[in-house]
Structure 1
């Protein structure tokens, strides 16, 4: 019988990679807490109707990519393909609006889409994102963009590019949609198959096509910005001015529409060319109609999400994180020494040190080799001689300097040891 393997589109995140994930998560928590955003954790699966109504039945996500099944209660259930619809449902269901003011929320976790796996894109993927619910002010748009920029820069990414657009109101988009379909219809047979299908279902998504011939066709298509009403135009101008005031560089990309139906007004993507080729690491925008669309009162909102897999690839290439290593590696030989070493290990851990305890019971030479491989700062050695004298041998791995110290003294000098470790 063959070994069972992970499903296509899923992958194990192994210990040597986890340090990058932990770095992103810790940095995100710090950036968001300083902006007083609170974490929310919606369920991994929801009623399918939530995503059909929220994302839009005409989108590729709902039409082709969702993991949907019928449960024992004959209900249609879907593993979340994104977070925003679930966060908005939680906002409505738990009456977060009753707290007054805006809700600043952030999230982290896995999501699921049935699409072709590739580097940085899996069928089970992970997102970090935020939602600011309850304000239509352009300053809210700029706040979330600024926080996304803060997070990426705090992680060490420097070659960032902000693409900005406005998709206007529903009325603006409907006017533009009519003009776009009129322009594209004569080229219908020259479009790629996906774009031909989108022509009647979701024509704005044709602007995102990666097909070369389709890109050539849409190059001369009507410009969405020319169809913005006065309100939309004013909102967009204010967003641009505020970004300039903050010193956040951007470029207008009139082809940027994002992939989900719920966007209104501001749409944006942050890209990085740190890998030598441009890659979108974060995207989002305003979605003023979604709360009402899902059964709540009319409530403006804006937010973004970033894919952690693609971000981790960038950080790995740039070596922006490194695996943690032990402060101490504890070596022991002999029954009494091994038991004493376990007690000493736990006492050091309680003092806040990272301590790895060798359980092999093998010869000292083999244990020292493992200590070297662990990249520990120092090694603690306990043998029968140390047990008799009540001492422990402390060896600094970089200098090979050794000292015999009473165990009680070692524990009492924790501050001194910590200072030496950070030099």
Structure 2
């Protein structure tokens, strides 16, 4: 992997939209267009963080949350928002350093991390034409942070002037997390305490649930104790995706910083991909064709299955669009009908338990119940 390889912005947008369709992320630009012309009244921002204390990835996340709020969008736990955004804008020259963000806002369940990791992993594989590596850690909740901070304080006190480089000790005087990050950057963190060993019961259970879901959906990962996030913005799970031992994407759960933008703090996750892009004019997007298949579903089990079928449909080169972030089955059907698909694949809780899916022909409203184990083959025969 050459981090300085420049990609054409048209190709990047094509790859991102392709992945977003399969995994259910809406383009932020389409959501803002839907709100144009409406008057949006805002309460003043709550100052719950100091921007200068945020790391660069947190600053990008805060800037995006401001856009979400300014657009009048109001995600909630009852109606979360799965969305993607980039600074590559049609009609403008692409910035040489470009970012693609995938957000799941208002989702406490580990389905959010799993979907973001699958989507970002697929995007990076498609762009770099190489197999990525996912590295995963948990820095836990507030209770875990208190424990981990004490462990780090004792570690730096015990090893002062011993095996720790002097530059790292100086960083630790500004904060033990700064010292820990300095040790990691200098590859001197082998004996440093690990956050995973002091997780609270709630954080341990969250990490175990994520690992179980990643294994169920066949996504490989490695645990990485050297992944540490800044305590002012991030919580619980954090992860990076590497290609040839170099970071291609980074992400984490966040909640505290959402207090400034929504009625309550919302459990959320972000994945951020950085790419170097050719600084050329980005051509305006052509109007998209109506999708052939839209997969709509309700319930955690159905969402888990939807991750699997996103992979299977991609491998079979079958088109698919879904809306993992829309909780209501009725609302998913309403949105789907505005897109004029040829078919709907419908899975409720009953179908998920029975391992079936309802195929609805949108022009005739005829429905057929199909078993999951032969679904991809049946669909391939339909579109041939």
Whether these two folds match at TM > 0.5 is: yes
Query: Is contact 1:133–1:302 with CA below 8 Å preserved after alignment?
Result: yes
Q: Which runs of 5+ in 2 are unaligned?
A: 33-44, 89-94, 279-384
The residue matched to 1:131 in structure 2 has which SS?
strand
Partners in 1 of 2:154 and 2:107 — Cα distance? 35
Asked if 1:24 is matched to 2:2, the reply is: no
Partner residue in 1 for 2:306: none
Which of 217, 224, 239 in structure 2 is aligned with 1:268? 239
Partner residue in 1 for 2:80: 102
Q: Which runs of 5+ in 1 are unaligned?
A: 1-12, 43-49, 62-79, 111-122, 314-423
Which of 123, 136, 149 in structure 2 is aligned with 1:164? 136
Partner residue in 1 for 2:253: 286
Give the CA deviation at 1:237.
0.4
Partner residue in 2 for 1:90: 67
- 1:271-350 matched pairs, under 5 angstroms: 271-273=242-244, 278-293=245-260, 296-309=263-276
Asked if 1:34 is matched to 2:22, the reply is: yes
Give the CA deviation at 1:81.
8.0
Partners in 2 of 1:227 and 1:234 — Cα distance? 13
- 1:142-161 matched pairs, under 5 angstroms: 142-161=114-133
TM-score normalised per structure 2: 0.58
Query: Is contact 1:58–1:201 with CA below 8 Å preserved after alignment?
Result: no
Which of 103, 107, 110 in structure 2 is aligned with 1:135? 107
Partner residue in 1 for 2:151: 179
Partners in 1 of 2:141 and 2:52 — Cα distance? 19
Partners in 1 of 2:202 and 2:260 — Cα distance? 21
Partners in 2 of 1:156 and 1:124 — Cα distance? 17
Query: Is contact 2:238–2:253 with CA below 8 Å preserved after alignment?
Result: yes
Give the CA deviation at 1:92.
3.7
Partners in 2 of 1:226 and 1:98 — Cα distance? 34
The residue matched to 1:290 in structure 2 has which SS?
helix
Give the CA deviation at 1:293.
5.0
Give the CA deviation at 1:156.
4.8
Partners in 2 of 1:141 and 1:211 — Cα distance? 24
The residue matched to 1:244 in structure 2 has which SS?
helix
Q: 1:174 to 1:259 in 2, by over 3 A?
A: same
Query: Is contact 1:92–1:291 with CA below 8 Å preserved after alignment?
Result: no
Partners in 1 of 2:197 and 2:28 — Cα distance? 38
Give the CA deviation at 1:300.
0.8
Asked if 1:245 is matched to 2:216, the reply is: yes
Q: What is the root-mean-square deviation in Å for CA atoms of aligned residues?
A: 3.5
Which of 222, 229, 236 in structure 2 is aligned with 1:258? 229
Query: Is contact 1:188–1:196 with CA below 8 Å preserved after alignment?
Result: yes
Partners in 2 of 1:242 and 1:172 — Cα distance? 23
Give the CA deviation at 1:259.
4.8
Query: Is contact 2:106–2:266 with CA below 8 Å preserved after alignment?
Result: yes
Partners in 2 of 1:134 and 1:33 — Cα distance? 20
Deviations 1:202-243 (A, max 9, x none): 42243333678x643x32122211111111000000110111
Query: Is contact 2:184–2:226 with CA below 8 Å preserved after alignment?
Result: no
Partners in 2 of 1:135 and 1:282 — Cα distance? 21
Give the CA deviation at 1:26.
1.3
Q: 1:154 to 1:286 in 2, by over 3 A?
A: same
Partner residue in 1 for 2:171: 198
Q: 1:55 to 1:232 in 2, by over 3 A?
A: farther
Give the CA deviation at 1:36.
3.2
Partner residue in 2 for 1:9: none
Higher RCO structure, 1 or 2 (CA under 8 Å, sep 6+)? 2
Aligned residue pairs, count: 255
Give the CA deviation at 1:88.
1.8
Q: 1:206 to 1:31 in 2, by over 3 A?
A: same
Q: 1:18 to 1:295 in 2, by over 3 A?
A: same
Give the CA deviation at 1:160.
1.4
